[in-house]
Homo-oligomer: A and B are copies of this chain.
């Protein structure tokens, strides 16, 4: 068991998250389950494209789908996705302010 090194699994997880549409889907699903129709209305994407991205998330086990009549409702599958997205957001802002500081340094050095 556990034949896949942890860092491989992490890389694969990150690769799964590496698309704007899939990020949007996960963000939207954080507020609770949602039918495809609503996702489609909220995200700028063709129905077929959305289906493909949903399929990726489904295959990876990050979301679950269940039919309710003629519509299909998607939901997060357990894990704490929110925390991961929060950490990503934080890291992004940290990197941006870091660049600002570097820029300020350079400007200061330039004026000397």
**Contact string, A10-25, partner B, CB cutoff 8 A, digits 1/0?**
1111111111101110
Query: Which of A31-39, A67-75, A90-98, A104-112 is found at the contact surface with chain B?
Result: A90-98
Count how many chain A residues have C-beta atoms less than 8 Å from C-beta atoms of the other chain. Answer: 41
The distance in angstroms between the C-alpha atoms of A79 and B93, with both chains bound, is 8
Contact sample, A vs B, 24 pairs, CB 8 Å cutoff: A6-B89, A7-B27, A10-B17, A10-B85, A10-B88, A10-B92, A11-B20, A13-B92, A14-B14, A16-B18, A17-B18, A77-B95, A78-B95, A78-B98, A79-B91, A79-B94, A80-B87, A80-B91, A83-B90, A83-B91, A84-B84, A84-B87, A84-B88, A86-B87
The distance in angstroms between the C-alpha atoms of A8 and B43, with both chains bound, is 13
A9 contacts chain B at the CB level, 8 A cutoff: yes
Copies of this chain per assembly: 2
Interface residues in chain A, defined as those with a beta carbon under 8 Å from any beta carbon in chain B: 5-20, 22-24, 27, 61-62, 77-81, 83-92, 94-95, 98-99
* CB < 8 Å neighbour of A23 from B7, B78, B79, B88: B7
Query: A98 contacts B80, CB within 8 Å?
Result: no
